[in-house]
Amino acid sequence: MMLPIYVIALKKSHERRQIMTKRLERLGLEFSFTDAVVGKDIHDTEKNRLCSQKRQRFLRFPLSNGALGCLMSHRAIWQKMQEDRIDNALILEDDAVVAPEILDVLPRLEKLKGHFDIISLHDMKGLPLIDIAEVSGSHRLSTTRYNNIGAVSYVISQKAAKHLLDLSLPAIFEVDVLMNRWWDHGLQTLLVTPQVVNEDDSPSTIGYGKAQPVWPDDTIIHKLNRRFNRAKDSIAKRRLFVKMMATAKMRLKAANPDDTSFNP
């Protein structure tokens, strides 16, 4: 049985929806659209509730309207997975270009039910990869100690989606940054290599936008906090990376998906 596929696109973005429909129907993939949340339409009072002031301790600019809308769009699917008891789902953004090889990869990922958290189908090029397991004769599951996955295309388990739902509000990080923080949330974030999804050249209608807002009250204390948190994250990644890889390997091959007793 093929994974359920959800495509995030603005309700009024008819051209983008037509493009995605053609791309997926050409491969015989069934899917449904999820209406993207428009960040700039969220009332300021609601934005204050949804966004955490802790972000200033980590990043030098506030969460943009586009990034907030993008996060809320992904959250809508994570919530649907809980309500409809969907074990695993493939989530695509509206600028995803899907390669024919996905037809071989998706059924194999479906068979790994219960043995993974997040698997990206899109590789952000240029970073060193470490293989974890073979998916097929031509594709592997890999990881990297660096931030290497975006939110353009990923398969996520219901359990991982629930965990991210609990962590994501009030929002500190963009959705892709949040998913990458494996040392923080404890979820294994793997990726399929070679990638089976790419991004097209046109700007995503649910993207972050070019203009970055600025903090109105940024102080030296905030800057020191950011420097401290960057160092702390770097140390945590180095310290936990081998353990994360070992746990991911054990989960992929263990008869009991929750058995990590051999984790060194």
Whichever domain contains 200, its CATH number is: 3.90.550
Comparing 259 with 33, which gets the higher pLDDT?
33
Residues 11-22 have a mean pLDDT of 96
The residue to which tokens 């629930």 are assigned = 162
User: Between vectors from CA 217 to CA 211 and to CA 220, what angle results, nearest 5°?
Assistant: 105
- 97 by Cβ neighbours in 10 Å (0-12 / 13-18 / 19+) ranks as middle
pTM of the model: 0.92
Comparing 252 with 80, which gets the higher pLDDT?
80
CB 90 within 8 A of CB 5: yes
Does a structural domain hold residue 28?
yes
Residues 105-117 have a mean pLDDT of 94
The residue to which tokens 């594709």 are assigned = 139
Task: With a cut of 80, say whether residue 176 has pLDDT above it.
Answer: yes
Does a structural domain hold residue 92?
yes
Q: Residue 19 is part of which domain span?
A: 5-253
User: Between vectors from CA 261 to CA 259 and to CA 264, what angle results, nearest 5°?
Assistant: 130
CA atoms within 13 A on the CB side of 251: 20
Residues 141-163 have a mean pLDDT of 90
Residues 198-217 have a mean pLDDT of 74
Does a structural domain hold residue 112?
yes
Task: With a cut of 70, say whether residue 264 has pLDDT above it.
Answer: no
Task: With a cut of 90, say whether residue 77 has pLDDT above it.
Answer: yes
pLDDT at 11: 95
CB 169 within 8 A of CB 74: no
21: how many CB neighbours lie within 10 A of its CB?
14
CB 222 within 8 A of CB 215: yes
Does a structural domain hold residue 210?
yes
- 133 by Cβ neighbours in 10 Å (0-12 / 13-18 / 19+) ranks as middle
Strands (E), 107-226: 118-120, 130-134, 140-143, 153-157, 189-193, 197-199
Q: How far is it, in rounded angstroms, from Cα 255 to Cα 233?
A: 33
Comparing 164 with 136, which gets the higher pLDDT?
164
pLDDT at 21: 98
Percent of the residues in the chain that have a pLDDT greater than 90, as a whole number: 81
Q: How many domains does the chain have?
A: 1
Convert the pLDDT of each residue in 186-202 to its tens digit: 999 999 999 999 999 87
Does a structural domain hold residue 264?
no
Does a structural domain hold residue 147?
yes
Signed CA dihedral, 157, 163, 168, 170: sign only: positive
Strands (E), the chain: 5-9, 32-35, 88-93, 96-98, 118-120, 130-134, 140-143, 153-157, 189-193, 197-199
Does a structural domain hold residue 105?
yes
The two structure tokens encoding residue 27: 């491969």
Q: What is the mean pLDDT of the chain?
A: 90
Task: With a cut of 90, say whether residue 163 has pLDDT above it.
Answer: yes
Percent of the residues in the chain that have a pLDDT greater than 70, as a whole number: 91
Residues 163-173 have a mean pLDDT of 97
pLDDT at 164: 98
Q: φ and ψ at 250, to 5 degrees?
A: -65, -40
Residues 88-104 have a mean pLDDT of 96
Residues 161-182 have a mean pLDDT of 96
Does a structural domain hold residue 222?
yes
Q: How far is it, in rounded angstroms, from Cα 185 to Cα 221?
A: 26
CA atoms within 13 A on the CB side of 245: 15
